[in-house]
Amino acid sequence: MAKLLMKGNDAIVRGALLAGCRLYFGYPITPASEIAEGAAAYFPKVGGTFLQAESEVAAINMLYGAASGGVRAMTASSSPGISLKMEGVSYAAGAELPCVIVNIMRGGPGLGNIAPEQADYNQVVKGGGHGNYKLPVLAPNSVQEMCNLTMKAFDIADKYRTPVFILADGYIGQMMEPVEFPEPVMHIDRKDWALYADAESKHNLISSIFLDPEELEEHNRKLQKKYALIEQNEIRFETFMCDDAEHLLIGYGIVSRILKTAVEKLRSEGVKIGMIRPVSLFPFPKAIIAELAGKVKNILVVELSNGQMVDDVRLATEFKTPIHFFNRMGGVVPATEEIIEQVKLQLLR
Amino acid sequence: MATKILKKPETFYERYERNPSADKKMPHYCPGCGHGNVHKMMAEALEDFEVDDRTILISPVGCSVFAYYYFDTGNIQAAHGRAPAVATGIKRAHPESIVISYQGDGDLAAIGTAEILHAANRGENITVFFVNNAIYGMTGGQMAPTTIVGQKTTTTPYGRQPSNEGYPVKVAELISQLDAPVYVERVSLMDNKHRAKARQAIRKAIKNQVDNLGFSLVEILSPCPSGWKLDPVDSLKWIEEYMIPNFPLGVYRDKTKEVQPYSFTRFEPDEEEIKKQLGITRETEKTFPKQEVPQRYQNPEIKVAGFGGQGILLLGAAIAQAGMLENYHVSWLPSYGPEMRGGTANCHVQVRETEVGAPMVSNPTVLIAMNRPSLEKFENDVQQGGIIMYDNSLIDVDPGRKDVEILPVPATKMADELGNTRIANMIALGALMGYTGLMSRETLYESLHAAIKRKRFLEINRKAIDKGYEFGQSKRV
């Protein structure tokens, strides 16, 4: 199929519909409103439903209800809205409901601003709500990935019976790039645990309550096993010019795009530098980072946050390689030149 | 004489296996509690209407958190107060289901006020049973939103005082003020006569959904002997004496005779139809050959800037579109948020032989400035050897840079001559491409199809591209 020039937020809506998602529940918030607007325009066109909820809390609970029905459904919001949703996310994780939640991150804390930040890493990647849970988190860095990873998110959600997060930022959401659209998913398997409002499924119970401590412990152990399996199977990353690299850059989302350009420019100056970008944030690509860390002299982690992913890099490398950090916050996105300057300052001294 | 055999409705499980207690026959509710009555009335109605197979019961947080122990239907346990939102989700997923949101007073009238109000206001085709016992039973007798004035609870040890806690929330009255609900009634369980009325109301509220009539809510004044610290008999008297004066019984709303039933038509388009509806099929699969481009113009990093309303973003998008048609890697990034306000607009466009890294352009090789503030703001950012193209029919200063190529284009004047000021952006597009030779006119024409939504404007935009292209060509160095 020919490529189409499209915004990242629009590609999410198309990707969801191509994946067979037919229900969208959301509350408007900048900079994620385009996803709701796109969903309002396109979901009804293919027999789906878009519903603007009265609150973020209602939206996530509508999603909980729809997911209980075994259908593919989603919601999207931005950082403060995600904070509100966390109650429902915890319940969905506990009740093991597959669904997709998109977070187009913005500046915080509090009302912050609407510029791009990556300050929700801890909130989203480490669980966020109450209880012992984690969710798969995919971080696209291009418009094509906004489509493809959204589709992939639905597959992962169904495969493991879990909510899945798409963690992106305003830049990827607002920018246009050519997209090649995959074929639509036409069949979604019936789920033996879900409620289809028929005799066959009526004995199913969707619940996260386990009164007996031992039962709840058992449930938690089952969840942890699931996360271990996800860590085994669902690690995604991209490496760039790492083969002979002596220095390594690490960043995800929009940052990885800037790092790539920085690597190209530094390489043209003869600096042996490479980049790795985690595509899945949980599961975090620990093994490859540890492997590359063993080969390079030092590492620079770049984030649009106070340093959240960098902790996972430190754990992955077990502090064996010097790890440097550079960040911007509040919605400031560094220019390539700024990264190059930091590389020279921190890695090449 | 006909005999009525009294037996447990089939909508109840024979044995309550989900109940972890050793007794699988008895419900977990306290003696004299009203939940058992309400459950039984619901179960009988669901059995009579033969809908138990397609019923989904939402259990809330409160004493009825375990309603799913008993009902042989589909069951969902919801977060505190969220049952109407969960009900909305499952009902929208399966419109043929019978969805019952079963809620207590804390759940519905305190923490879940927003969810119930809006589910009612949307007219969700669901049934809500609201069990009002004026107290938080499960957590041990704290004040409920419906606790009556003067009533002692563990959190109102001196009695509810309006000066501190306000007044009891009247749910049936509130919900009946909305336009969408079809049926709202308040009933009580104080004696057999009232229980018979309650049974009728519960049946009707379920039947309304079976008939697809819309949103029904029945508020049931129900005894809580444990919470009230009364014996079951005194509890029934307490309903009569204290609750009913605060919560008058009766039908608050009934438009079941007036409304048209909901109807659902399933629409499941095939693959081709989906792609068409999503707008992801392109009219043409055509691509266009790349041009011979002088090396200094290759891989341009472009910033387009001007007033809002000058078609700045569209100009950038047309460049990106054309680049894509010539198989370049492209990206387009608008300035957004606060930057967008105050009437200036700008966007960043990359057209590259190799994959685009950073989509932002902080130091452009090409600046297209369509107004003076843009020229002044970005002039010094342009890379050495780059191009500054500006609309000299609007900008009355000249760029001072000597280390870049300067291309003044009277785009707005030329557009006016063609009869439409708004096509100055396409004149600028043509001029840049004519000057640099970056893309062919045919590619630009094709890019218009995606960029211009109204087909009647295609022709004039084509003309603008031609004019601009010829102008640009004539200025080649």
Residue B74 and residue B80 in contact, taking contact as beta carbons nearer than 8 Å = no
* Architecture (CATH level 2) of domain B35-254: 3-Layer(aba) Sandwich (3.40)
pTM above 0.90, yes or no: yes
* Structure letter (DSSP) for residue B153: B
Cβ of residue A204 closer than 8 Å to a chain B Cβ: yes
Question: How confident is the model at residue B425, as a pLDDT?
Answer: 97
- What is the predicted pLDDT for the residue at B335? 83
- The per-residue pLDDT for range B209-234, each reduced to its tens digit, is 999 999 999 999 999 999 999 999 99
| Closest residue to A65, CB basis, from B85, B324, B362 | B85
Residues 1-30 of chain A with CB under 8 A from chain B are 1-5, 14, 17-18, 23, 25, 30
- Distance in angstroms (rounded) separating the CA atoms of residues A8 and B331: 11
Give whole-number Cα distances, B52 to A205, A228, B71, in Å. Answer: 15, 39, 9
CB pair distance less than 8 Å for B75 and A205: yes
Whether B77 sits inside 8 A of A208 (CB atoms) is yes
Rounded to whole angstroms, what are the CA distances from B253 to B84, B180, B195, B249?
19, 10, 20, 12
**Which of the two residues, A253 and B286, has the higher pLDDT score?**
A253
- Decide if A112 touches B, using CB distance below 8 A: no
CA A175/CA B443 separation, integer angstroms: 22
On average, the pLDDT of chain B sits at: 94
For B87-203, where are the E strands, in sequence order? 98-104, 127-132, 135-136, 142-143, 183-188
Task: Name the nearest CA neighbour of B405 among B292, B290, B294.
Answer: B294
Name all domains of chain A by residue range, CATH numbers in brackets: 4-233 (3.40.50.970), 238-347 (3.40.50.920)
CB A78 within 8 A of CB A30: yes
Q: Which residues of A touch B331 (CB under 8 A)?
A: 175-177
A235 touches B: beta carbon within 8 Å = no
| Of A316, A254, A326, A324, residue with least CA distance to A290 | A316
Which among A133, A91, A101 is positioned nearest to A225, based on CA atoms? A133
| CATH class of domain segment(s) B295-474 | alpha beta
Rg (CA), chain A: 20
According to DSSP, the residues that pair with B156 across neighbouring strands are B153
> Residue A206: closest CA among chain B residues belongs to which residue?
B76
3-class secondary-structure state, position B187: strand
Domain with CATH 3.40.920.10 in chain B: 295-474
Closest residue by Cα to residue A1 from B10, B353, B271: B271
- Residues paired with residue B12 on neighbouring β-strands, in sequence order: B71
Could you tell me which residues come within 8 angstroms of residue B77 by beta carbon, excluding any fewer than 6 positions away? A95, A205, A206, A207, A208, A209, B58, B59, B65, B68
> What's the rounded mean pLDDT across residues B89-109?
98
**Least confident interval from A125-134, B19-28, B206-215, B427-436:** B19-28
Distance CA A35, CA A57 (A): 18
From A57's Cα to the closest Cα of chain B, the distance in A is 8
d(CA B291, CA B289): 6
Residues B43-78: tens digit of each pLDDT: 999 999 999 999 999 999 999 999 999 999 999 999
Q: What CA–CA distance (Å, rounded) separates A278 from A310?
A: 12
Rounded Cα distance, A307 and A80, in Å? 19
Q: Which of B277, B317, B356 sits opposite A45 (nearest CB)?
A: B277
Contacts of B314 in chain A (CB under 8 A): none
Is some CB atom of chain A closer than 8 A to the CB atom of B441? Answer: no
> Between β-strands A323-327 and A49-52, what pairing exists: parallel, antiparallel or unpaired?
unpaired
User: Which residue's structure tokens are 């009707």?
Assistant: B204
**A194 beta partners:** none
Report which of B245, B60, B189 is spatially closest to residue B137, judged by C-alpha positions.
B60
Taking the CB of residue B400, how many other CB atoms lie within 10 A of it? 8
B 66-95 near A (Cβ less than 8 A): 68, 72-79, 82, 85-94
User: From the first residue on, what is the mean pLDDT of each consecutive set of 10 residues in chain A (349 residues)?
Assistant: 88 98 97 95 97 98 98 98 98 98 96 94 96 98 98 98 96 95 96 98 97 96 98 98 98 98 98 98 98 98 98 95 97 95 96
Q: Predicted confidence band at B2 (pLDDT cuts at 50, 70, 90)?
A: low
Nearest CB neighbour to B274, from listed A184, A201, A207: A184
- CA A190, CA A172: separation in Å to the nearest integer? 34
- Window 50-89 of A: residues touching B by CB (8 A cutoff) are 51, 53-55, 57-59, 61-71, 73, 87-88
Q: Which residues of A274-299 are buried (b: 16+ CB within 10 A; e: fewer)?
A: bbbbbbbbbbbbbeebbebbeebebb
In angstroms, what separates the C-alpha of A185 from chain B's closest C-alpha?
A: 8
Rounded Cα distance, A139 and A158, in Å: 19
Q: State yes or no: pLDDT of B286 exceeds 90.
A: no
Phi (first) and psi of residue A76, to 5 degrees:
-145, 150
B15 Cβ under 8 Å from any chain A Cβ: no
pLDDT in tens, B334-382: 985 544 555 678 999 999 999 999 999 999 999 999 999 999 999 999 9
Beta-ladder partners of B184: B217, B253
Q: Which of B359, B333, B360, B357 is nearest to B347 (CA)?
A: B333
- B214: tokens are 């819309």
Chain A / chain B CB contacts < 8 angstroms: 241
A116 preceded by a cis bond (ω within 30 of 0)? no
Q: Which residue of B has its CA nearest to A44?
A: B267
Phi then psi dihedrals of residue A90, to 5 deg: -60, -45
Distance, in angstroms, between A280 CA and closest chain B CA?
19
The string of pLDDT tens digits covering residues B135-165 is 999 999 999 999 999 999 999 999 999 999 9
Nearest to A4 among B94, B280, B338 (CB): B280
The answer to whether B143 contacts chain A (CB < 8 Å) is: no
pLDDT higher than threshold 90 for residue B284: no
Are residues A53 and B267, on separate chains, in Cβ contact within 8 Å? no
Which residue among A1, A5, A186 sits closest to B321, beta carbon to beta carbon?
A: A5
Contacts of B285 in chain A (CB under 8 A): 2
Q: Do B330 and A5 touch (CB under 8 A)?
A: yes
Chain A residue nearest residue B447, CA to CA: A5
CB contact under 8 A, B273 and A46: yes
Residues whose CB is less than 8 angstroms from the CB of residue B166 and which lie 6 or more positions away in sequence, other chains included: none
Residues of chain B with CATH 3.40.50.970: 35-254
- Report helix, strand or coil for A82: helix
Q: A90 to chain B: nearest residue by CA? A: B79
Q: Which of A176, A266, A273 to mutate to probe the B interface, most B CBs <10 Å?
A: A176
Rounded to 5 degrees, what are φ and ψ at B281?
-100, 135
Q: What is the number of alpha carbons within 13 Å of residue B388 lying toward its C-beta?
A: 26
Cβ separation A61–B284 shorter than 8 A: no
